Structure 1
Amino acid sequence: MSGPVIEVQDLHTRYGSRWVHQGIDFRVERGEVVALVGGSGSGKTTLLRQMIGLLQPARGSVRVFGESLFGGGPRRERALRRRFGVLFQHGALFSAFSVFDNIAFPLRELKLFSEAEIGDMVRLKLDQVELLPEHGRLMPAELSGGMVKRVALARALALEPELLLLDEPTAGLDPDLSDSFVRLIQQLDRELRLTVVLVTHDIATVSALATQVAVMEEGRILAFGSLDQIMHSEHPFICSFFHSDRGVPVEAS
């Protein structure tokens, strides 16, 4: 496929009378790992929600795989959404479902597979996120924070997506678990050749994963480029964000 995986043009988003985005232009090319960073209230999570179709823009457009997320009928919209997976910040697991059933949920919704096939696919996803088959019997309340993230990632990958969107993937994890989860994402990215967009405030995660960084502030993208390019920016907000004590400091090469 030619063209960007995600293309955002002249995006304006409003909650009531408050403008969240004011004229965002943004592209994600196939195979890139793009990190959206910025202060609280900068609009990065809202931008992620626009990319997965949870919000419609007040003005402008969001295209994924060259297609609008809205219009063309439910069948076309569902087919498009099956091409990407989402890891929400706190996992968003169904509390009444076992680990197995959480991962199986999107597969069962398709109504294309037998239960035996679904079982095989769930076990494969558990293995991909370095969990054991017996973990499938556990309930979300029995999981550690790190396991919740892995189960949620397995569910996001259940339909073999081409695009993976991650909202604060290491939030709430201690440094060791955070490092382990980042290594897992790196491994899956290499094996599955994904395109990835992640929202994060953690500079160490940006440094480890991102091929491109978009810095957001007050509903706009201040800068877009490699981490090295961003680190050499003289913009006051960017200097404050990347060279302060928030997260793990990064040294520009």
Structure 2
Amino acid sequence: MSQQEFINMQHDPIIEAKQVSFYFDGRPIFQDLNFQLNRGEAYLLLGPSGSGKSLLLKILSGLFLVAQGSVKIAGIDLAKAAPQVLQELRVKMGFVFQDAALISNMCLYDNIALPLRYHTSISESEIKIKIAEQMAQLQIDRQGDFLLPAQLSMEMRKRAALARALILEPELLFLDEPTMGMGEEASLHIWQFLQAYRQKKKISVILVQTDWRSALPFADRIGFLKGGKIVCAGPKEQVKDRLAQISRPENFLF
């Protein structure tokens, strides 16, 4: 099966997890968890601190494989797929990690260029053009091109991580606290950019955001993770009453 076939597949849901259980050091993190992301939607995943939101994103993206249950992307069971199939799927996925996860000994420019250099055969001049466009859209200061991640602010690292995640124009995007470390104005710009990008590219998105109010306009559906399961999920209009319960951390009970 070729990469082009995967790109053209209109499988819905785009992600489906069934009866997933995951253990760490013998302790159950998820038990019989079910999850579904429909093609083209943005899903906001909420839950108490330590509930495993970031871990679930990694499982749903195939970074961690599960021994119990199944996780499928575009109908492909990740635990049963051949390495080449997984690689072809990952080319169409972007991931922004909570800590940005830029490569520490690579400058900002090279971090963003990495997927293009690794997954495509385009020339350095073409790479330069693509990166310039992406950095302009995300308002990344070009004076930082050759700075290492440790020399950048958290805001700039997050912008660079988002640029890297989008540089291959993925169909599926995972966002773990994409605006963490940003001020209100910068955060608003990122959400506006993501909304416009999503509408233009028709991509599917799953995101974790502690400051859920800022992400609410972006989301179509919301799910609550607690006790190792999705305990409440639905269109945001139907579950908005639950949001009133989590106006304060101590009320984050379902």
Normalising by the smaller structure, the TM-score range is 0.7 to 0.9
Structure 2 partner of 1:125: 134
Structure 2 partner of 1:251: none
Q: Please say if 1:38 is aligned against 2:47.
A: yes
Q: Please say if 1:240 is aligned against 2:208.
A: no
CA displacement at 1:27 relative to structure 2: 0.9
Greater shift in the superposed pair: 182-191 or 136-145: 136-145
Determine helix, strand or coil for the equivalent of 2:161. Answer: helix
Describe the superposition over 1:194-244 as per-residue Cα deviations: whole angstroms up to 9, x where unpaired.
2110012212133221110001111111111122211235xxxx6532x32
Unaligned runs of 5+ in 1: 247-253
Q: Tell me the matched-pair count.
A: 241
Distance 1:184 1:62, change over 3 A: same
Q: Please say if 1:91 is aligned against 2:100.
A: yes
CA displacement at 1:16 relative to structure 2: 2.3
Unaligned runs of 5+ in 2: 1-9
Question: Are the aligned partners of 2:17 and 2:72 in contact in 1 as well (CA < 8 Å)?
Answer: yes
Describe the superposition over 1:160-183 as per-residue Cα deviations: whole angstroms up to 9, x where unpaired.
100110011122223333222222
Summarize the alignment of residues 104-119 of structure 1 with structure 2, pairs less than 5 Å apart. 104-119=113-128
Normalised to the residue count of structure 2, the TM-score between the two structures is: 0.87
Q: Which amino acid aligns with 2:11?
A: S
Rounded Cα–Cα distance in structure 2 between residues aligned with 1:18 and 1:123: 46
Distance 1:14 1:48, change over 3 A: same
Off by >4 Å, runs of 4+ in structure 1: 132-135
Residue identity over aligned pairs, in percent, reads 35
Structure 1 partner of 2:7: none
CA displacement at 1:8 relative to structure 2: 0.7
Normalised to the residue count of structure 1, the TM-score between the two structures is: 0.87
Rounded Cα–Cα distance in structure 1 between residues aligned with 2:107 and 2:35: 38
Q: Please say if 1:188 is aligned against 2:197.
A: yes
Q: 1:18 aligns with which of 22, 27, 43?
A: 27
Q: 2:37 aligns with which of 12, 17, 28?
A: 28
Determine helix, strand or coil for the equivalent of 1:137. Answer: coil
Rounded Cα–Cα distance in structure 2 between residues aligned with 1:111 and 1:181: 27
Q: Please say if 1:77 is aligned against 2:86.
A: yes
CA displacement at 1:133 relative to structure 2: 4.9
Describe the superposition over 1:20-67 as per-residue Cα deviations: whole angstroms up to 9, x where unpaired.
111111111111000110001222211111012121213111111111
Summarize the alignment of residues 160-239 of structure 1 with structure 2, pairs less than 5 Å apart. 160-233=169-242
Rounded Cα–Cα distance in structure 2 between residues aligned with 1:111 and 1:209: 31
Determine helix, strand or coil for the equivalent of 1:13. Answer: strand
Structure 1 partner of 2:59: 50
